[in-house]
Amino acid sequence: MTTPIDPRALVGQWVRLARDDGPPTIGVLVSVRPATGPDGHPMWNWRLRCSQGTTIYGGGGLPITLLAPAHRADIRRARRHLRRRRDHYTALALGHERQYPQLAHEATMAASDLESLQTQLASHR
């Protein structure tokens, strides 16, 4: 699947963002807003939460495809990142939940993202 005419339909889904300078970036499309470019052409302002835990922002074109079971290498990489983040922050948070609530939040976000990835992939079978 390539970017639909209105990519807002993919918000909340795991996608592959094509990049000119390397492999695609994998993440959850968090938001998309229509915008107008300096030349008057339509474009998009978007935000993507990556499997590594970072959030990237962009504007202009949105070269994305829906992450599907055929993207095996990307899926393995995303799962590996999510499991590492979940386990790392869970271990750090143990016994420090009150003092550092952000650690538990990061562990919960990674677990939630891993679950949503599994759910999306299962829906394609």
pLDDT tens-digit readout, 47-81: 999 999 999 999 888 889 999 999 999 999 999 99
Q: Are 117 and 88 members of one domain?
A: yes
Which of 116, 118, 121 is CA-nearest to residue 29?
116
Q: Are 57 and 83 members of one domain?
A: no
Q: Which residues of the chain have pLDDT under 50?
A: 1
- Is 1 within a domain? no
Q: Are 81 and 44 members of one domain?
A: no
Q: Are 13 and 58 members of one domain?
A: yes
* Distance of alpha carbon 18 from alpha carbon 68, whole angstroms: 15
* Distance of alpha carbon 111 from alpha carbon 55, whole angstroms: 16
Please, how many CA atoms are within 13 Å of residue 6, restricted to the half-sphere of its CB?
A: 2
- pLDDT the model gives residue 74: 94
Domain carrying residue 111? 72-122
- pLDDT the model gives residue 115: 97
- pLDDT the model gives residue 113: 96
Q: Are 62 and 108 members of one domain?
A: no
- pLDDT the model gives residue 5: 66
Which of 19, 44, 15, 45 is CA-nearest to residue 27?
15
Q: Are 58 and 80 members of one domain?
A: no
